[in-house]
Amino acid sequence: MSSYAEAFRQSVEDPETFWLDAARGVDWVNAPTRALDGSEAPSFRWFPDGTLNTSVNALDRHVQAGHGDRTALIWDSAMVPAKRTYTYSELLDEVAVFAGVLRDQGIVAGDRVIVYMPMIPEAAIAMLACARIGAVHSVVFGGFAAKELATRIDDAQPALLVTASGGLEPGRTVEYLPMVEQAIGLSQTPPHTVIVKDRESIPGSAADYKTSSAAWFDWDELVADAGPADPVPVAATDPLYILYTSGTTGKPKGVVRDNGGHAVALTWSMRNIYDISPGDVWWTASDVGWVVGHSYIVYGPLLVGATTVMYEGKPVGTPDAGAFWRIISEYGVRALFTAPTAIRAVRKADPNAEELKKYDISSLQTLFAAGERLDPDTYEWATAVLDRPVVDHWWQTETGWAIAANLRGLEPMPLKAGSPTVPVPGYRVEIVDGEGKRVEAGTEGNIVIALPLPPGTLTGLWRDEDRYRRSYLDTFPGYYLTGDSGYIDEDGYVFVLGRSDDVINVAGHRLSTGSMEAVVASHPAVAECAVIGIRDELKGQRPSGYVVLKAGVDIDPEKLRQELVTMVREQIGAVATFRDVTVVQALPKTRSGKILRKTMRQIADHEQYTVPSTIEDPAVLEALERQLGG
C-alpha cells in the first residue's frame, strides 16, 4: 500500500492513533492522551486534555534546541523599499517584549485583540505575542473601511487594538488612524486601548489621538519600557484566533481556530503537503489578513523551524513582473505559495517570461497555488516557463489548511490540470446530489466532507453556534457543506468547479460556469476571464463571458467571440448556449484575488449592488458598469 493510501486509511479508520502520532510533532505542557472528543457531535474537539502554548512551539523550542541563530523571518518591502531579517532568537525577544506590553495593558488569557496592520513584521509579532499570553487575536485586513472594522470590533469585543500609521499600495498611501478612530466611534463595544506602530513614511501617530474615547499609545515607547512576558499554557481547545470571512454582509462570520488542533495540523501539513523542513526558505505571497497569511506566513513555517518570507508588494508593478523571481533568487526560496490571480497577473504583463531570464531561481522546487481555481491554461503556462511542478490545492478560510492536495512530502503524485489532486488525510471528501445521496465517479454535485473534520479546522463561529450549524452542518446531516461544486474522477482526483451558486440553470440544464471558464482561459489571447450567469427571458439564465487580453495582444473582438463560442461548443456542447463575450481591461477582485462574480452578475442584470468591503480596486467595478450600460 502506498504511503498516501495508508495514511489516509488510518486517518479515517483510526483517527485516534493517526492524530496522536501527528501530535508528537508539537511540544506540549501536558501531552494529550486522547485525540478526538465527539461528546457534543456534530461539533467535535481535538486533543481535549492537552495543554500547550502556540508561540512557544513557533519560537522558544527552536531557540532552546540550539537554533536561535537560524533565520526565522525575512521582511522585504518593495513599497518603502526596505528589508529586514530576524533570527529565531531576535524574533522571540521581540514577541516576548510585546507580549509584556499587552500584559502591562491588562490583557489576559481569553481577551480579544484586534490586529489591523499592513504587511510589516510587527503584524506577525503582535499575533505571536497574543498567542504567548493566551489572548485571542483577530486580524482585520489592513485598509478595510471603518464600518467593516467597526462590525468586527462589535462582534469580537476586543479589549485592545493594534495598528500602524498606514499601509502602502502602488501609487497611494492608505492612512489607517483616521479609519481606526472612526471605527471606534461607530462601535458599541470599543477597545479601551489602541497601540500604534508609527511608520516614518506615513503621516499620523498615536499622539494625534489622545482625546479619543480610547487611550492611544505609541508601539515603540511601550516596548522601550516593557519587560518580556512568560508564556501562558492554554488548553488545546482554547481559541487561538478569530478570523472573519471576507465579503460578509450584515453580522460578520467569525471563524474560530483552536490552539492544539491548529498546531498539530499545520506542523503535519508543512512536512507532508509542502515538503518543508527546518531551515528551508518558504514564501507565501499573501497577506496576514487572510487565512493563508495566518497559516503559512506566520504559524506554519515557524512551527517547523523554517524561514518565512513576508513580502510587502505586488506580483507586478513593484516595480515589474520580475518581482517574484527577484525574491526567489535573493533569498533562496525553496517553495512559493501564491494565488492563481498573481500568476495570471505576471503572465499578462510578461507573457514570454522575459523578466524570469534575469534571475537565478534554481532554489525553487515547487510553486503551490490556492485561493481560487487554477485554470488549466494558467497551470500549463506556469509549468512551461518554470519547468517545475505547479501544484494546485484547495481549502477554505473555515478549514485553515488544505482539503485536497498533492502531498509532495508524503507521496508526490501525477499532476492533472484543473485538479487539486486527492483528499488530504483526515478529510473524507464526497460528492452528493441535492438530496444528499452520493453520486458516481465523474458526476458533478455538491462537495461535502464527512464529519468529523480533522484538527485545525474551524471549531465553530464566534459566539454563534446556531449560525455555525445552519451554515455548515444542517444541509446534509453528517457532513460539512463546503459550498463548492465539483466531482471526483475514477482515479480519486477531486475537481472543484466553483461555488455551488456558480452553477447556472440554462433551459433546465445545470451548467458549471467554472467549466466554461476553463475553456475560455485556454484561448491564447486570454490572460484571465470570468463566466457568469445572467438573466435570459427565454432560458432563465445564459452564460456571459468577460475576458482580459494578454499584454500586447491585438485581436478583433468579434473574431475572438466567434473563436470562444466555437471552443465552448466543441468542448462542452451546444447546450451551454455560450454566445456573449465582452473584452474588459480588468476583472473586479477582492484583495485576496477572488473574482467578484456575484457583483458582476448584479451589474450585468442592472440590479442594485453593494461594493464589497474586500474589493481591491473600486474603479474596476465603475468601469465595468459604464461598459455594460449602467
**Domain harbouring 211, CATH code:** 3.40.50.12780
| Confidence class for position 505, pLDDT limits 50, 70, 90 | low
* Per-residue confidence (pLDDT) for residue 211, from 0 to 100: 66
Q: What angle do CA 124, 130, 132 make, to 5 degrees?
A: 100
**Which residue blocks in 246-361 are alpha helix, DSSP H?**
260-272, 291-293, 300-303, 323-331, 340-349
Q: How far apart are CA 23 and CA 1, in angstroms?
A: 24
- Mean pLDDT across the stretch 274-296? 96
Task: Assess whether 471 and 528 both reside in one domain.
Answer: no
Quote the pTM value.
0.85
- Residues with Cβ within 8 Å of 26's Cβ and at least 6 positions away in sequence, in order, are 52, 57, 260, 263, 264, 267, 303
507 has pLDDT over 50? yes
What are the C-alpha distances in Å from 426 to residues 106, 172, 298, 423? 39, 44, 23, 8
Q: How far apart are CA 517 and CA 547, in angstroms?
A: 10
- Mean pLDDT across the stretch 506-528? 81
Q: How far apart are CA 97 and CA 510, in angstroms?
A: 57
The b/e string for 429-438 (b: 16+ C-beta within 10 A; e otherwise) is bbbbeeeeee
How many independent structural domains does the chain possess? 2
Domain boundary among 461, 485, 509: 485
289 has pLDDT over 60? yes
- Mean pLDDT across the stretch 165-172? 91
Task: Assess whether 133 and 272 both reside in one domain.
Answer: yes
Task: Assess whether 26 and 168 both reside in one domain.
Answer: yes
User: Which residue has better confidence, 614 or 427?
Assistant: 427
Task: Assess whether 438 and 525 both reside in one domain.
Answer: no
Task: Assess whether 452 and 542 both reside in one domain.
Answer: no
Neighbours of 82 (CB within 10 A): 13
User: Which residue has better confidence, 612 or 240?
Assistant: 240
Q: How far apart are CA 188 and CA 153, in angstroms?
A: 8
393 has pLDDT over 70? yes
What are the grid coordinates assigned to 180, written together?
Answer: 481606526
Q: How far apart are CA 366 and CA 340, in angstroms?
A: 14
Q: Which residue has the cell 499578462?
A: 348
Q: Which residue has the cell 513582473?
A: 321
Domain boundary among 462, 485, 508: 485
Task: Assess whether 455 and 535 both reside in one domain.
Answer: no
Asked if 84 contacts 121 with a C-beta cutoff of 8 angstroms, the reply is yes
* Per-residue confidence (pLDDT) for residue 538, from 0 to 100: 65
- Mean pLDDT across the stretch 392-421? 96
Count each helix (H run) and each strand (E run) in the chain, helices first.
20, 32
**Domain harbouring 528, CATH code:** 3.30.300.30
* Per-residue confidence (pLDDT) for residue 148, from 0 to 100: 82
Neighbours of 322 (CB within 10 A): 21
Task: Assess whether 54 and 124 both reside in one domain.
Answer: yes
248 has pLDDT over 90? no
- Residues with Cβ within 8 Å of 562's Cβ and at least 6 positions away in sequence, in order, are none
* Per-residue confidence (pLDDT) for residue 582, from 0 to 100: 94
Q: Choose among 474, 494, 371, 370: nearest CA to 423.
A: 494
> Long-range contacts: 460-465, Cβ < 8 Å, 24+?
460/43, 460/256, 461/253, 461/254, 461/255, 461/256, 462/155, 462/156, 462/242, 462/254, 462/255, 462/256, 463/155, 463/254, 464/251, 464/253, 464/254, 465/43
Domain assignment present for 448: yes
291 has pLDDT over 50? yes
Q: How far apart are CA 279 and CA 302, in angstroms?
A: 10
Asked if 123 contacts 94 with a C-beta cutoff of 8 angstroms, the reply is no
36 has pLDDT over 50? yes
Q: How far apart are CA 611 and CA 600, in angstroms?
A: 11
Distance of CA 79 to the CA centre of its chain: 22
256 has pLDDT over 70? yes
Domain assignment present for 336: no
Domain assignment present for 510: no
- Mean pLDDT across the stretch 116-134? 98
629 has pLDDT over 70? no
User: Which residue has better confidence, 493 or 568?
Assistant: 493
623 has pLDDT over 60? yes
630 has pLDDT over 80? no
Task: Assess whether 125 and 183 both reside in one domain.
Answer: yes
* Per-residue confidence (pLDDT) for residue 542, from 0 to 100: 87
Asked if 72 contacts 280 with a C-beta cutoff of 8 angstroms, the reply is no
Domain assignment present for 321: no
Task: Assess whether 36 and 146 both reside in one domain.
Answer: yes
The terminus-to-terminus CA distance of the chain in angstroms comes to: 59
**Which residue blocks in 157-307 are alpha helix, DSSP H?**
177-186, 219-225, 260-272, 291-293, 300-303
Instruction: Say how many residues make up the chain.
Output: 630
* Per-residue confidence (pLDDT) for residue 502, from 0 to 100: 67
Boundaries of domain holding 226: 3-313+393-485
509 has pLDDT over 70? no
Task: Assess whether 481 and 620 both reside in one domain.
Answer: no
What's the DSSP call for residue 573?
-
User: 542: phi > 0 → left, psi -120 to 50 → alpha, else beta; which?
Assistant: beta
* Per-residue confidence (pLDDT) for residue 371, from 0 to 100: 83
Domain assignment present for 536: yes
Task: Assess whether 526 and 412 both reside in one domain.
Answer: no
What are the grid coordinates assigned to 99, written together?
Answer: 507580549
| Confidence class for position 247, pLDDT limits 50, 70, 90 | very low
Task: Assess whether 450 and 594 both reside in one domain.
Answer: no
**Which residues partner with 590 through β-bridges?**
615
User: Which residue has better confidence, 230 or 503?
Assistant: 230
Domain assignment present for 118: yes
Domain boundary among 468, 485, 502: 485
Domain assignment present for 328: no
* Per-residue confidence (pLDDT) for residue 374, from 0 to 100: 86
Query: Which pLDDT tens digit goes with each residue over 39-63?
Result: 999 999 999 999 999 999 999 999 9
| Confidence class for position 178, pLDDT limits 50, 70, 90 | very high
Of the candidate ranges 331-340, 456-465, 540-549, the one whose mean pLDDT is the lowest: 540-549
Asked if 140 contacts 149 with a C-beta cutoff of 8 angstroms, the reply is yes
Asked if 336 contacts 309 with a C-beta cutoff of 8 angstroms, the reply is no
Chain mean pLDDT for the chain: 93
Neighbours of 66 (CB within 10 A): 8
What's at 586, amino acid-wise?
A
Domain assignment present for 495: no
Neighbours of 585 (CB within 10 A): 11
| Confidence class for position 537, pLDDT limits 50, 70, 90 | low
